[in-house]
Structure 1
Amino acid sequence: MTKKTHDKTVLMGKSPPKMAGALPLLGHMLEFGKNPFAYMMKLRNTLGEIGEFRMFHQQMVLLTGPEASEAFFRAPDAQLDQSQAYKIMTPIFGKGVVFDAPPHKKDQQLKMLMPVLRDQPMRGYARVIVREVEQMIADWGDSGEIDLLEFMKELTIYTSSHCLLGDEFRYELNEEFARIYHDLEQGVNPLAFVFPYLPLPVFRRRDKARARLQELVTAIIDKRARKAEKSEDAFQMLIDARYDDGTRLSAHEITGMLIGTIFAGHHTTAGTAAWTLLELARRPEYLDAVLQELDGNFGAEGEVTFQSLREIPVLENVIKEVLRLHPPLIFLIRKVVQDFHFKDYTVKAGKYVCASPRVSHRIAGVFPDPEKFDPDRYTEARQEDARPFSWIAFGGGKHKCSGNAFAMLQLKAIFCILLRRYTFELIDDKDSYQDDFTQMVVQPQSPCRVRYVKRSPIADAQSGAALADNQQSQATTTPGFRIMLDRELCQGHATCMTEAPELFRVDDAGHVTVLQENPSSELLKKARQAEKYCPTQAIKIELNNRT
């Protein structure tokens, strides 16, 4: 329905259907708080792909399914504001940092962080992660028991801080920083969406940790200023960074942006790593398939490199299926600044809209038999995730998690070492390992006990290089092609430029230029590599019609 107002045509859609059972003052908060996922599944099953509920005084609209998710992720910031929705992070990142900064300033801050997650630095991280894993398991011996989640939390904070923040955080402040980070992470509490400054112990610890971290950051800045040689980590990039007007970042801003960097590299990865081992431990057939792939590619002592981590699709598909069933974030949220329209519905300004990866990943029309753990969904033959915005474990659109490529690299590198050294067994009943929905970052419930046993010696890997070369030599003549670049999705990782420098150029600001409008067929393989490895799937290759 439309109406005329001062010669403008205004869309007048229906209001989203509402869930019944809202309580005075509390709304649906009690039922939502007990199990957010179960409540949102109930809403989806009751109302469909769009439905409204209430958390205290806030009206929330849940969007699920590929079409609704695409509308959510592609909406401009002027309509759906990410910053307004994530005021929960202001006490953690700090006033005036990232989500609390004005839009033009936030964009500059995010660009300052992007270089550490670009393609070229990423190529050196595999060796660092492997070294950290080897150190963590050096004294394990032949067998033992661990709390898997606690182990993964410790391991991933070491790998992330070493790769992204620098030596001081890894070697000089490792134990204190781990405690600080734990208190900050606990501050990401569902209650903080509505009441971020309640005088609760968890919020007091959050604020104390933020203040202490800024003290440590200030001391490191002073120490680095006295050194002749410069580091090449994210910390140094932020020290050297300038806003467009030439001003430097303050210690307060650097602290908040370092926290943002480590959140991108760690806060979802520990739970995913734990769930990957748990799912493999209770499904021997998939564990055997992963071990066969790893043993065949690496043998006992094969080197784990950036390139070799790209060539283990069986393990990658297992991780993707873990992320489908156990996405770390309960929901992603935006505030409606201008009326938001989806199909014949209108969500009025002032409300909040949210997308739930966990609910959208369990739609049978997209992922058949959705409760089944089935990594083969992502094989070439099935490609159940091929539909845009169907698999959204890292979000989507221009705000897709910029650390997604680092997270996948980190996870694959960890398992390339752990699974070749040890087998893992569940100590408790397999059905007792469940998700914990009491925190905003969903992880397995504690305790999460597993037993490890050292594997028998592994035969040397057969060289796959000759096979790959042979396959390449058998390439047939291919038609011409064209490159489609979705600039709304591009984040400037520069992977495309590394894979196909003849076709792409990425400047320091992250802007991508396609260098050839009609590339020759000889460049198709490189273009396909750029398409395949783009972290945000912003590139599509279309073959010209054969004549």
Structure 2
Amino acid sequence: MPGALPLVGHMLAFGKNPFEYMMKLRNSLGEIGEFRMFHQKMVLMTGPEANEAFFRAPDAQLDQSQAYKIMTPIFGKGVVFDAPPHKKDQQLKMLMPVLRDKPMRGYAEVIVREVEQMIAGWGDAGEIDLLAFMKALTIYTSSHCLLGDEFRYELNEEFAKIYHDLEKGVNPLAFVFPYLPLPVFRRRDKARARLQELVTGIIAKRAQKPEKSEDAFQLLIDARYDDGSRLSAHEITGMLIGTIFAGHHTTAGTASWTLLELARRPEVMRSVLNELDAHFGADGEVTFQSLRETPLLENVIKEVLRLHPPLIFLIRKVMRDFHFKGYTVRAGKYVCTSPRVSHRIADIFPDPEKFDPERYSDARQEDARPFSWIAFGGGKHKCSGNAFAMLQLKAIFSILLRRYTFELIDDKDTYQDDFTQMVVQPVSPCRVRYIKRLGMKKAAAETARNTAQAEAPVRPRFQIKIDRELCQGHATCMSEAPELFHVDDVGNVTVLQESPPLNLLAQARQAEKYCPTQAIKIELIENPEESKNGRIS
């Protein structure tokens, strides 16, 4: 890329607006191009083919850990990205049970209760800073679901302050100089040390209790490495921080943008309200299963994530020469991909700047091409918490939108992304006005009367295929179709029937639809004789 300056390279242009710079690079150089940040050479790859090469590359070639040393002072030495590959893999697997299907089914009730508590004092109308509200709400829901009652209730205010100081430590300067003696980094380090003190105290208290909790904290206390050793308080602290980082500030930004985009478009807001009113009525219970049956709300969230992905670029360090089409990226450079840029390729998403939730309808399926929609990443490194994030967002809006209507206070064009932050969120403050919905029961009853269910056609035969590289062992498939799938304690999936009967097709489709990593494919076979030649995985 032309325009590099002495010493800083393209850093000034990139830092001013990384999205605009990366769009300019793609428009100038195509799906692969190089730029420089200070002394470091960076290669940007965008588009489905480039994304697939990026996400499917083995760790020994494209190393995620080397690229995210920025998180070492926050997570801690020897934790996640700073751990050797075999140890990092074990640490990440220790957290998987809390994100698997069975515990997920209890989270909807917790999230709904938190939302109801947050809005209990709102009254008939008022104004809020939407981002500040969503940050508070998602830290409560994430900590309550994943970390347990102590963090949610006993350490409420102190934990929020600690988390704030840790979050501010994720500063672009830390990519190059993570230990400069700056006030923001000193507060980060002090917060990390204080949190470890608190974690050590809670571990001691829990050891005295006869009953055990079922949250991520307890999972880490009980976890063992392959050699039988326990996690230290230092490691538990770092992994708890990582758990909340993954499920909080990304979700807060997405939740804020979801409400902002709906408030900008009253017609889409009405459609979503009609769906929620028809499905839940005025007082219907919000559950794990009922939230799955709100496809329009889910499509709205997916479109928000297409236009406003919280992580606008993902980075890997090239450990061995990396080849893509006719290009070679030499070891020592960094490779990155950008969800925000890839999501605006007109050949895949026509009229890419338009907010259009119908892109994901059965008729259009614009995201069907593999590695085209990558808001949660892709391949074996796809965010393992993506199912929790979607559940959290849908549960929040199933309550908020049925209780209140929302309006923008400022001009709609003033609500913009803040590219000065590592995790992109709306510029704060982003003010909205809320007004209590009146006649909600009447509206719900009317919508229910006008809603009809269409039956899906049954096809003659089907077969099941699993992409073992994508599968992370969430066990959602086993919950949806226990007669077709079994997942063992370490996350290995077995398909139980090679020639499933037709009456299990609906269950198989549910397993395919709700697999968090889209590792399952159901292939329909018109001619039953074709199955004799097809390979059943």
TM-score normalised over the length of structure 2: 0.96
Q: What amino acid is the match of 1:384? A: E
SS of 1:501 mapped into structure 2: coil
More off after superposition, 537-546 vs 73-82:
537-546
Matched, 1:166 2:131: no
**Alpha-carbon displacement from aligned partner over 1:194-224 (angstroms, at most 9, x marks no partner):** 2211222221111111111101100000110
Equivalent pair of 2:278/2:451 in contact (CA under 8 Å): no
Equivalent pair of 1:124/1:306 in contact (CA under 8 Å): yes
Instruction: Give distance in 2, aligned partners of 1:314 and 1:207.
Output: 43
Partner residue of 1:9? none
Q: Which of the numbers 468, 473, 488 marks the counterpart of 1:507?
A: 488
Deviation at 1:330, TM superposition (A): 2.2
Instruction: Give distance in 2, aligned partners of 1:445 and 1:465.
Output: 38
Instruction: Give distance in 1, aligned partners of 2:99 and 2:275.
Output: 28
Partner residue of 2:171? 189
TM-score normalised over the length of structure 1: 0.94
Instruction: Give distance in 1, aligned partners of 2:246 and 2:449.
Output: 37
Matched, 1:99 2:81: yes
Distance 1:470 1:414, change over 3 A: closer
> Aligned runs of 1:272-291 on 2, under 5 Å?
272-291=254-273
Distance 1:290 1:344, change over 3 A: same
**Alpha-carbon displacement from aligned partner over 1:42-101 (angstroms, at most 9, x marks no partner):** 101110000000111111000001110011001111111111111111111100001111
Q: Which of the numbers 10, 13, 19 marks the counterpart of 1:28?
A: 10
Instruction: Give distance in 2, aligned partners of 1:261 and 1:111.
Output: 12
Instruction: Give distance in 2, aligned partners of 1:464 and 1:155.
Output: 29
Deviation at 1:545, TM superposition (A): 3.6
Distance 1:470 1:191, change over 3 A: closer
Partner residue of 1:365? 347
Matched, 1:323 2:305: yes
Partner residue of 2:43? 61
Q: What amino acid is the match of 1:383? A: Q
Deviation at 1:191, TM superposition (A): 1.7
Deviation at 1:459, TM superposition (A): 2.1
Q: What amino acid is the match of 1:498? A: S
Distance 1:517 1:462, change over 3 A: farther
Partner residue of 1:11? none
Equivalent pair of 2:380/2:472 in contact (CA under 8 Å): yes
Structure 2: runs of 5+ lacking an equivalent: 529-537
Q: What amino acid is the match of 1:191? A: L
Partner residue of 2:367? 385
Instruction: Give distance in 1, aligned partners of 2:479 and 2:104.
Output: 11
Matched, 1:538 2:531: no
Deviation at 1:523, TM superposition (A): 1.4
Partner residue of 1:16? none
SS of 1:268 mapped into structure 2: helix
Instruction: Give distance in 2, aligned partners of 1:76 and 1:24.
Output: 34
**Alpha-carbon displacement from aligned partner over 1:235-272 (angstroms, at most 9, x marks no partner):** 00000000011100000000001011112221200000
SS of 1:459 mapped into structure 2: helix
Q: What amino acid is the match of 1:290? A: V
**Alpha-carbon displacement from aligned partner over 1:375-423 (angstroms, at most 9, x marks no partner):** 1111111110000010000100110111110000000000010011111
SS of 1:115 mapped into structure 2: helix
Partner residue of 1:458? 440
Partner residue of 1:48? 30
Equivalent pair of 2:274/2:447 in contact (CA under 8 Å): no
Q: Which of the numbers 458, 461, 465 marks the counterpart of 1:480?
A: 461
Partner residue of 1:355? 337
Distance 1:274 1:465, change over 3 A: closer
SS of 2:226 mapped into structure 1: coil
SS of 1:271 mapped into structure 2: helix
Distance 1:147 1:92, change over 3 A: same
Equivalent pair of 1:297/1:462 in contact (CA under 8 Å): no
**Alpha-carbon displacement from aligned partner over 1:412-436 (angstroms, at most 9, x marks no partner):** 0000100111111111111000000
Equivalent pair of 1:497/1:504 in contact (CA under 8 Å): yes
Deviation at 1:496, TM superposition (A): 0.5
Equivalent pair of 1:129/1:414 in contact (CA under 8 Å): yes
Equivalent pair of 1:309/1:409 in contact (CA under 8 Å): yes
Matched, 1:527 2:488: no
Deviation at 1:467, TM superposition (A): 12
Q: Which of the numbers 221, 225, 242 marks the counterpart of 2:203?
A: 221
**Alpha-carbon displacement from aligned partner over 1:289-335 (angstroms, at most 9, x marks no partner):** 11111111112211111111001111111111110000001211101
> Aligned runs of 1:108-507 on 2, under 5 Å?
108-459=90-441, 461=444, 478-507=459-488
> Aligned runs of 1:64-103 on 2, under 5 Å?
64-103=46-85
Distance 1:137 1:466, change over 3 A: closer
Equivalent pair of 1:264/1:402 in contact (CA under 8 Å): no
Distance 1:540 1:465, change over 3 A: farther
Instruction: Give distance in 1, aligned partners of 2:331 and 2:250.
Output: 31
Instruction: Give distance in 1, aligned partners of 2:523 and 2:429.
Output: 49
Distance 1:112 1:355, change over 3 A: same
Equivalent pair of 1:50/1:64 in contact (CA under 8 Å): yes
Identity among equivalent pairs (%): 84
Distance 1:487 1:471, change over 3 A: same
Partner residue of 1:39? 21
Deviation at 1:463, TM superposition (A): 11
Instruction: Give distance in 1, aligned partners of 2:73 and 2:417.
Output: 26
Equivalent pair of 1:297/1:463 in contact (CA under 8 Å): no
Instruction: Give distance in 2, aligned partners of 1:194 and 1:497.
Output: 44
Runs of 4+ in 1 over 6 A off after TM superposition: 463-470
Instruction: Give distance in 2, aligned partners of 1:77 and 1:522.
Output: 41
Deviation at 1:468, TM superposition (A): 11
Instruction: Give distance in 1, aligned partners of 2:432 and 2:233.
Output: 42
Q: What amino acid is the match of 1:508? A: D
CA RMSD of aligned residues (A): 1.7
Instruction: Give distance in 2, aligned partners of 1:382 and 1:477.
Output: 21
Deviation at 1:518, TM superposition (A): 2.1
Equivalent pair of 2:78/2:84 in contact (CA under 8 Å): yes
Structure 1: runs of 5+ lacking an equivalent: 1-18
